[in-house]
Amino acid sequence: MSSVANTGVYYGYAQVVTPSGDSTPMHPKDNKVLPMVMSLGWNPFYKNEKLTAEIHIMHEFDKDFYGFEMRAVVLGYIRPELDYTSREALIDDIEFDKQVALNCLERPEYRKYAQDPHFDLRCNVDTQI
């Protein structure tokens, strides 16, 4: 990831996949393909020392999904990352980013990606690249 040209906020779709053999599978509504925003960069407000990609799926999940596979497709760029002077300003921009993403994903040319074969749960997740 160190060769990323444009850090900042992106939007697209993501899906959380229950690992095979998990004794407490996710509710089917939580396995759906859902809108997301992704921060890609150094997150200067938090003084990160490593380049990170943080995906925020716009959905309330019934349980935590740490350790689960996540599939994502990035469709567009919203803005560059910024170094905020306050946490409140950061939160305000995150809420704005989410609205921009939802508006963009309403376009028919973007909606079709929610049905992309990349998100087909019938594929064996253990053999995915």
How confident is the prediction along the chain (129 residues), in pLDDT tens digits per residue? 556 679 999 999 999 988 877 777 788 899 999 999 999 998 776 777 888 899 999 999 998 998 899 999 999 999 999 888 899 999 999 999 999 999 999 999 999 999 999 998 776 445 444
Residue type, 16: V
Other beta carbons within 10 Å of 46: 12
pTM for the whole thing? 0.85
CA distances from 47 to 43, 51, 84, 88 (A): 6, 11, 11, 17
Q: Please identify, in words, the CATH class of the domain defined by 8-118.
A: mainly beta
Beta-carbon contacts of residue 22 (< 8 Å; ≥ 6 apart): 68
Active site residue 49: no
In the set 54, 69, 81, 109, the catalytic residue is: 54
Measure the CA–CA gap between 11 and 55, rounded to whole angstroms. Answer: 9
Q: Which residues pair with 9 in a beta bridge?
A: 39, 79
